[in-house]
Amino acid sequence: MADTSILVCPATKQPLRLVPIEEADGARPLVPRARTGGGVTSEHAGRTPIVMLRADGEVAYPVIDGIPILLAPEMLVRDASSAAYDVGALPYAEAYEQMAFYNEFAAGGEGGGELARYAEMLRPAQRLTPAGRSQFPEPRELWIDAVYDAAAQMDCYRHLAPVQDRVILQLGGKGLHAVKFLLAGAKEAWVLTPMLQEARWAVAFAEMMGVSAGLHCIVGIAEELPIADATVDGVYAGGTVHHIVTEVAFPEVRRVLKPGGAFAAADPWRTPWYTIGTRVFGKREPSVYCRPLDAARVAPLKSTFPNGRRLHHGAFTRYLLLVLTKFGLESSLRTAWALNRIDDAVASVLGMRRLGSSVALLATRE
C-alpha cells in the first residue's frame, strides 16, 4: 500500500486514514454519492474493501489496487439522499468527459510496447552513480523526452534541480517524469492524475525501472489537490496546465509546496500559427478542452507566485516541425534542439520570443 501520510480530503482538506470498509461503515454504511451532469461516462469507483476515511468519519474514498481515488464525485457518504455532484461543471467536467478516452489510451500504452520503449530510453539512468544522478538534468540526451518542447522541458527540469532526496509531485500524465525524478535520486515521487489507468501505468513502469518503493499514485485533480499543506519540494506539470482551471489550480500548487519549493510546467502556447495549423491540419488531441495557453489563462501564475515567469521557445520552427510529423517526418531530439537554439536566437534579435509556441512556466514559493 502506498504512503498516505500526506493525503487529505480534496473537498475539505481534513486528514485521511486507511481503514477496512467495515470499520468505516460503523452503524450507517457508506454509499456512493449520486452524480449528475452530461460528463458522466464512467461507473462509480464504489465501495472497496479498503477506503480512506476522513477525520470526521462522515466521508470515505475508494482505494483501487492500492491507489486512492480522491475525486470528490467518488466520495462515499452516509446519506444516500445527499445532493448529487454535478460532474458536468467545473472543475471536474473535463476529467469525467475525457475519462473513458484517456483510460483506454493509457491501457493501450501499457500493453502495446510503450512501457518497454520508455524503459529502454531510461536504461542508462539506472546505471548512474550518485555523482551522475546529481548532474540531473544533464546530459539532456538522457533525460529529455519532449522532442518538440525540449527547451521548455529543460527549463523546467533545471528549475526543479537538484531533486536528490526531495519529494516531487507530477501533475497529470502517466508518471514518466516521476520515475525520472526517482532515477535522479528523489526521495519520493507522487503522480496525480484523474485517470486510474494512467496511475496503473505509472505503477507498472516504476516496477519495471526498479523504483516502485518511492512512487506513490493518486487519482485526483489539480484544482482540488488531496495533499496536505507544505509537504512537497517540487511540482512538475508536462502538457497539463492547458487542461486545468489555472486560477483555482495555481493557488493549490502553492499551498502544497514547502517554502522555497519550485513549480515548473511545460506547455503549448497559443500563437497565430496554431489557429492556421489547426484549421488546415486539425488538432493533435481529440479534446475540446485541449486549448494552448494564452496570457489570460497564465495571469494567475503571477498573482499566486510574485516571482512567476514564463519562457518562450520555437517562434518559427516548432509548428513547422509538428506539421511535418503529419507527413511521417519525425525529428530527432538532436535536430529539434539545434533548430530550437537557432530559432530562439533569431527570435530574440527580432524581439519575437513571445511568439514561441512552447512555453515554460517557472515559479518558487517564497
Q: What is the domain-level CATH number for residue 219?
A: 3.40.50.150
Residues 79 and 157 in one domain: no
Residues 250 and 274 in one domain: yes
Residues 213 and 65 in one domain: no
Determine phi and psi for 237, rounding to 5 degrees: -130, 120
Residues 75 and 129 in one domain: no
Asked if the structure places residue 6 within a domain, the reply is no
pLDDT in tens, the chain (366 residues): 456 889 999 999 999 999 999 999 998 999 999 888 865 556 788 999 999 999 999 999 999 999 999 999 999 999 877 788 899 899 999 898 888 878 887 877 655 588 999 999 999 999 999 999 999 999 999 999 999 999 999 999 999 999 999 999 999 999 999 999 999 999 999 999 999 999 999 999 999 999 999 999 999 999 999 999 999 999 999 999 999 999 999 999 999 999 999 999 999 999 876 666 555 556 555 554 668 899 999 999 999 999 999 999 999 999 888 888 878 899 999 999 999 999 999 999 999 999 999 999 999 999
Cell of 192: 496525480
Asked if the structure places residue 95 within a domain, the reply is no
Residues 124 and 254 in one domain: yes
- Of 350, 346, 314, 325, the C-alpha closest to 154 is 314
Asked if the structure places residue 99 within a domain, the reply is no
Domain extent, residue 322, equals: 104-364
Residues 118 and 38 in one domain: no
Last-in-domain residue among 30, 54, 89? 89
Residues 114 and 201 in one domain: yes
Determine phi and psi for 236, rounding to 5 degrees: -120, 135
Last-in-domain residue among 89, 119, 135? 89
Considering its fold, how many domains does the chain have in total?
2
Last-in-domain residue among 29, 56, 89? 89
For the question of whether the overall pTM of this predicted structure is more than 0.85, the answer is yes
Q: Where are the alpha helices (DSSP H) in the chain?
A: 21-25, 93-111, 114-126, 130-133, 140-143, 150-160, 176-183, 196-209, 246-256, 272-281, 295-304, 318-325, 333-349
CB-CB contact of 297 with 268 (8 Å): no
Cell of 59: 466521508
Residues 168 and 42 in one domain: no
Residues 302 and 334 in one domain: yes
**pLDDT, position 39:** 57
**pLDDT, position 98:** 85
**pLDDT, position 284:** 55
